[in-house]
Amino acid sequence: MSDYAVTISLPEYKRGDRWNGISSIGPVVVNSQTPSSPLTRIRMHFIHNLGEVFRLDSDTGVSPDAIINIDDSVNWQASIPEVNEFLSISGDWKWDMEFYESGKSGPLTFYQGVIHVYDDVTK
């Protein structure tokens, strides 16, 4: 079975800088249509091979490192606002984005990728 998650290349990032976020996520389409039940949550994890994890989540109750906004739950559209303190270690960070649908307990991972973080001089 092949991996159904779409691989997306996020722009490289300089450690210590603000991250612009993602202005538009979605609308998500499965089998040529938006899922029939509303989007209830999105999680995104960045994982560095040294074990460091950076968590983004639309559920603020889990105290994520940064917030994901669900802009239109019916059409499965979201955004990530600018993040002032982002990935803290240089190198490659793998990431994936999980989507939760109303009435379902498990997520579907639709997007994944790698972002490269360059070291900064001033640290």
- Measured between alpha carbons, how far is 87 from 17 in angstroms, rounded to an integer? 9
- Measured between alpha carbons, how far is 69 from 81 in angstroms, rounded to an integer? 8
Residue whose entry in the numeric block shows the structure tokens 């990431």: 95
87 sits in which H/E element? none
> Which pLDDT value is given to residue 2?
53
Q: From residue 104, how far is each of 58, 71, 94 by CA, in Å?
A: 16, 20, 26
The neighbouring-strand residues paired with 99 are 42, 108
Domains of the chain: 6-118 (2.60.40.10)
Mean pLDDT to the nearest integer, 37-63: 97
As given in the structure block, the two tokens for residue 92 are 């490659």
What average pLDDT does the structure give for the chain?
Answer: 93
pTM for the full model? 0.91
